[in-house]
């Protein structure tokens, strides 16, 4: 693997949501990520099918499948940890301790190990043991309350704010920062990444604006939440949408000039009382042309403009094509690794492995001979996928 994390080994205790996303980020940057999977149960419910082995988020892994109820399997994980730099897990607080894979046990094998813990509510606090999902975590941060129209319930922003932005990326940043420190101090540490904390951190600017009296604690009443006429999405004549966001006065003037608007009412950009009327007038204007016609007029200018593309359209946009923002692997279109590095460029890692695909090879790398591997497989401690 290439990338700035080449040579770093990560152990990922398999789960769903933000921890695998952090694993993807680390693998994309060149880390060797070994995913410890549970032996497949054979279930095929709709939920199990949904959660099983996401081909994009789980890219770049090697997989070893173990019966985690067997002490011999736990010993194998500890052997892997002894050679690793980072461990990431996404269970409720206390679960890995019960397995025998808590921080104390792992640091006794590898004192430099960075132990990354990904949860919704954090390792402590009155909600730490409660179940939840992205929507619940961002609800507690103030983020969800701020999103959506004022006359309807708050709008879920997919699972981007909790699971991925406030979760997986926060964990990836945390473990790489701790790794940097461990390489200087010789000691690892526990990284407690909580989605409720991460969603709050993502709201730093809004809390800062509110502290200055420039942000109202009400939906659709601020310049970034759909209230202002100069920051939002507008329907076009063909039923598709465009986005505009000329916040700065020079960009706002440019939009007006490009659109042929010379009405003095539009000069009152920051007068909140004018926003509803100006928004209605822009809505009428944008419905006079198709999305493509607006792109021809505004795209690439300083009007702060972009078409609102569907997931099917986005990979084919000329800017995304020029930058290679999306790639295709085994017939699956997916985002390319990001950010970009000029010296240690990242490459798209291998596709997601089958559960247990690398079990035998990883055991042999740990020093287990063929007879031992066969014995562990025969005893149901280790699972080797048929594909391998």
β-bridge partners, 32: 9
Q: Which two tokens stand for residue 205?
A: 């600017």
Task: Give kind and range of the element (H or E) at residue 104.
Answer: helix 103-109
Convert the pLDDT of each residue in 234-253 to its tens digit.
999 999 999 999 999 999 99
Convert the pLDDT of each residue in 303-348 to its tens digit.
999 999 999 999 999 999 999 999 999 899 999 999 999 999 999 9
Using the predicted structure, report yes or no on whether residue 388 has a pLDDT greater than 70: no
How many angstroms separate the CA atoms of 106 and 112, rounded? 10
Q: Which two tokens stand for residue 311?
A: 């997931």
How many angstroms separate the CA atoms of 243 and 48, rounded? 37
β-bridge partners, 326: 335
The pLDDT, as a whole number, for residue 99 is 97
The pLDDT, as a whole number, for residue 42 is 73
**Eight-class DSSP state of 76:** H
Average pLDDT over every residue of 262-268: 97
Average pLDDT score, the chain: 95
Q: How many helices (H) and strands (E) does the chain have?
A: 15, 12
DSSP states of 124-160: SSTTTTS---HHHHHHHHTTGGGSS-TTSPPPP-TTI
Burial of 77 (0-12, 13-18, 19+ CB in 10 A): buried
Cβ–Cβ under 8 Å, residues 67 and 380? yes
Using the predicted structure, report yes or no on whether residue 28 has a pLDDT greater than 70: yes
Convert the pLDDT of each residue in 129-186 to its tens digit.
999 999 999 999 999 999 999 999 999 999 999 999 999 999 999 999 999 999 999 9
Instruction: Delineate the domains of the chain, giving CATH numbers in brackets.
Output: 9-202+326-383 (3.40.50.10540), 232-321 (3.30.1540.10)
Q: 């080797």: which residue's tokens?
A: 384
How many angstroms separate the CA atoms of 231 and 355, rounded? 46
Percentage of residues of the chain with pLDDT beyond 90: 94
Q: What CA–CA distances, in Å, run from 330 to 71, 123, 127, 348? A: 37, 39, 42, 12
CB neighbours (10 Å) of residue 128? 15
Helix, strand, coil percentages for the chain (3-state, nearest 5): 40, 15, 45
**Banded model confidence at residue 301, pLDDT cuts 50, 70, 90:** very high
Cβ–Cβ under 8 Å, residues 146 and 216? no
**Banded model confidence at residue 43, pLDDT cuts 50, 70, 90:** low
CA nearest to 4, candidates 326, 339, 324, 327: 339
The pLDDT, as a whole number, for residue 387 is 64
CA nearest to 76, candidates 357, 358, 361, 362: 362
Using the predicted structure, report yes or no on whether residue 6 has a pLDDT greater than 70: yes
The pLDDT, as a whole number, for residue 55 is 81
Question: Catalytic residues, which ones?
Answer: 133, 163
The pLDDT, as a whole number, for residue 275 is 98
What order do you get walking across the sheet with 241-244 strand by strand? Answer: 232-235, 241-244, 305-307
φ/ψ of residue 345, rounded to 5? -60, 140
β-bridge partners, 192: 117
**Banded model confidence at residue 354, pLDDT cuts 50, 70, 90:** very high
Q: Residue 269: helix, strand or coil by DSSP?
A: coil
Convert the pLDDT of each residue in 90-117 to its tens digit.
999 999 999 999 999 999 999 999 999 9
Pairing mode of beta strands 326-329, 9-13: unpaired
The pLDDT, as a whole number, for residue 41 is 81
What's the half-sphere exposure (Cβ side, CA atoms, 13 Å) at 376? 28
């Amino acid at each position: 693997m290439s990338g700035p994390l080449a040579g770093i080994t990560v152990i990922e205790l398999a789960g769903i949501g933000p921890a695998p996303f952090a694993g993807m980020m680390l693998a994309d940057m060149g880390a060797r990520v070994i995913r410890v999977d549970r032996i497949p149960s054979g279930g095929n419910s709709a939920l199990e099918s949904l959660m099983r082995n996401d081909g994009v988020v789980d890219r770049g892994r090697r997989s070893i499948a173990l019966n985690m109820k067997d002490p011999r399997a736990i010993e194998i994980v500890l052997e892997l940890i002894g050679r690793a730099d980072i461990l990431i897990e996404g269970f409720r607080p206390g679960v890995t301790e019960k397995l025998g894979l808590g921080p104390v046990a792992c640091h006794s094998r590898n004192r430099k190990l960075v132990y990354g813990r990904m949860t919704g509510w954090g390792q402590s606090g009155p909600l730490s043991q409660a179940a939840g999902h992205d929507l619940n975590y961002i609800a507690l941060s103030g983020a969800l309350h701020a999103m959506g129209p004022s006359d309807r319930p708050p709008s879920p922003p997919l699972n981007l704010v909790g699971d991925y932005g406030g979760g997986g990326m926060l964990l990836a940043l945390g473990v790489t920062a701790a790794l940097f420190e461990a390489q200087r101090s010789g000691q690892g540490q526990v990284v407690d990444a909580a989605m409720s904390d991460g969603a709050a951190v993502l709201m730093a600017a809004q809390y800062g604006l509110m502290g200055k009296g420039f942000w109202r604690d009400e939906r659709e009443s601020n310049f970034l939440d759909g209230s202002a006429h100069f920051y939002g999405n507008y329907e076009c004549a063909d039923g598709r949408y465009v986005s505009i966001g000329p916040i700065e006065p020079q960009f706002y003037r440019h939009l007006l000039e490009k659109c042929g608007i010379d009405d003095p009412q539009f000069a009152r950009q920051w007068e909140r009382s004018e926003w509803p009327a100006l928004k209605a007038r822009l809505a009428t204007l944008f419905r006079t042309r198709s999305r493509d016609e607006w792109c021809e007029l505004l795209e690439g200018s300083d009007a702060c403009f972009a078409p609102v593309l569907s997931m099917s359209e986005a990979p084919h946009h000329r800017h995304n094509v020029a930058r290679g923002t999306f790639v295709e692997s085994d017939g699956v279109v997916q985002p390319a690794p990001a950010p970009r590095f000029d010296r240690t460029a990242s490459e798209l890692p291998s596709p997601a492995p089958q559960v247990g695909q690398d079990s035998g090879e990883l055991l042999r790398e740990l020093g287990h001979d063929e007879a031992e591997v066969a014995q562990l497989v025969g005893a149901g401690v280790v699972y080797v996928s048929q594909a391998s």
